[in-house]
């Protein structure tokens, strides 16, 4: 490694929780996951951002949004701009597989969202990943490399601009809620392909190597160890398990152990 990358556990609550209960859930998870060596982020629905931020104010857990619009402002009913998230969130998920599927988001659109995040000081968690048929056809790496290249081209970012802020989550779409499971070695191979794609898009080797790559594919406390055992993987984007304090406690505990082991190895 060029430098020790942070270990990040990000919770994507998706369309779950309400303003009435989100703060309590966030505070419970924060108390159950107190680990100094792990960057913790909770991404609730938009309407829960304020109560979650208030609940997490003294905990060291950051708040993230689940999406952002690709324009700074305008006649876009029902949408949220990056500027609107100021004071509510410090992170933002961009290009999640469910938005690619349900809202038909393209890599070009995702690239513009990436740029809006960086302009506004939001730290993006940029999601990429292949479908089952693409993996079975032996095209997984090519598909993800192309996703990275198209989004970066559309973002207008060049030469590693934003490298200090960008986090990438590898989501094997075929392993999300399907009962299928990816292996740690698969995720590590794809993480290296992602960093290779950054270099192919003009990033310096050192800048690409500094980018944390998370695994996001139905992560649980039982499965996280296999992925964190891979040096190329730097944490997880957690879906369903992120609503369960006991699951999050197990995931973050494993992440803290990994961070300690990597720090010791780097001495």
Give the tens place of pLDDT for each residue, 83-96. Answer: 999 999 999 999 99
Alpha-carbon gap, residue 233 to 213, rounded angstroms: 6
Asked whether the CA dihedral 214, 218, 224, 226 is positive or negative, the reply is negative
Alpha-carbon gap, residue 219 to 227, rounded angstroms: 9
Q: Report yes or no: 108 and 146 within 8 Å, Cβ to Cβ.
A: no
- pTM for the structure as a whole: 0.97
Residue 242 confidence (pLDDT): 98
Q: Report yes or no: 238 and 175 within 8 Å, Cβ to Cβ.
A: no
**Phi first, then psi: what are they for 258, rounded to 5°?**
-65, -45
Alpha-carbon gap, residue 81 to 113, rounded angstroms: 9
Per residue in 122-176, pLDDT (tens digit) is 999 999 999 999 999 999 999 999 999 999 999 998 888 888 999 999 999 988 8
- What does pLDDT average to over the chain? 95
Per residue in 236-248, pLDDT (tens digit) is 999 999 999 999 9
Per the annotation, the verdict on 171 as an active-site residue is yes
Alpha-carbon gap, residue 176 to 213, rounded angstroms: 17
Q: Is 195 exposed, middle or buried (0-12, 13-18, 19+ CB in 10 A)?
A: buried
Residue 159 confidence (pLDDT): 83
Per residue in 68-82, pLDDT (tens digit) is 999 999 999 999 999
Q: Which of 134, 141, 171, 247 does the annotation list as catalytic?
A: 171
Residue 4 confidence (pLDDT): 87
Which residues have a Cβ under 8 Å from the Cβ of 203 and sit 6 or more positions away?
159, 160, 163
Residue 65 confidence (pLDDT): 98
Q: Is 124 left (phi over 0), alpha (psi -120 to 50) or beta?
A: beta
- Which whole-number Å values give the CA distances from 182 to 40, 142, 218, 230, 248, in the listed order? 23, 18, 9, 13, 20
Q: Report yes or no: 10 and 43 within 8 Å, Cβ to Cβ.
A: yes
Q: Which of 96, 130, 134, 141 does the annotation list as catalytic?
A: 96
Asked whether the CA dihedral 214, 243, 57, 90 is positive or negative, the reply is positive
7-266 CATH fold: TIM Barrel (3.20.20)
Domain boundaries of the chain, sorted by first residue: 7-266
pLDDT tier, 1 (very low <50, low <70, confident <90, very high otherwise): very low
Residue 161 confidence (pLDDT): 85
- Whether pLDDT at 110 is above 90: yes
69 or 2: which leads in pLDDT: 69
What is the number of other CB atoms lying within 10 angstroms of the CB of residue 62?
A: 18
- Which whole-number Å values give the CA distances from 79 to 48, 65, 74, 154, in the listed order? 16, 12, 9, 20
pLDDT tier, 3 (very low <50, low <70, confident <90, very high otherwise): low
Alpha-carbon gap, residue 203 to 42, rounded angstroms: 29
Alpha-carbon gap, residue 46 to 62, rounded angstroms: 15
pLDDT tier, 229 (very low <50, low <70, confident <90, very high otherwise): very high
């Amino acid at each position: 490694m060029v430098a020790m990358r942070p270990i990040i556990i990000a919770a994507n609550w998706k369309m779950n929780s309400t303003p009435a209960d989100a703060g309590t859930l966030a505070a419970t998870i924060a108390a159950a996951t107190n680990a100094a060596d792990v960057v913790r982020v909770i991404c609730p629905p938009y309407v829960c951002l304020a109560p979650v931020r208030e609940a997490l104010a003294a905990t060291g857990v950051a708040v993230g949004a689940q999406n952002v619009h690709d324009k700074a402002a305008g006649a876009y009913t029902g949408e949220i701009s990056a500027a609107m998230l100021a004071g509510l969130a410090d992170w933002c998920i961009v290009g999640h597989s469910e938005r690619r599927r349900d809202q038909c988001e393209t890599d070009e659109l995702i690239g513009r969202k990436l740029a809006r995040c960086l302009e506004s000081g939001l730290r993006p968690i940029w999601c990429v990943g292949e479908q089952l048929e693409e993996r079975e056809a032996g095209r997984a790496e090519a598909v993800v490399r192309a996703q990275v290249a198209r989004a970066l081209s559309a973002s207008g970012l060049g030469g590693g601009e934003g490298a200090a802020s960008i986090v990438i989550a590898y989501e094997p779409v075929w392993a999300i809620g399907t009962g299928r499971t990816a292996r740690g070695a698969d995720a590590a191979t794809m993480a290296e392909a992602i960093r290779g794609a950054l270099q192919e898009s003009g990033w310096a080797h050192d800048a690409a190597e500094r980018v944390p790559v998370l695994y996001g594919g139905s992560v649980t406390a039982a499965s996280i160890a296999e992925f964190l055992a891979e040096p190329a993987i730097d944490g997880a984007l957690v879906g369903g398990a992120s609503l369960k304090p006991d699951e999050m406690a197990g995931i973050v505990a494993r992440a803290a152990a990994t961070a300690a082991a990597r720090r010791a190895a780097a001495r």
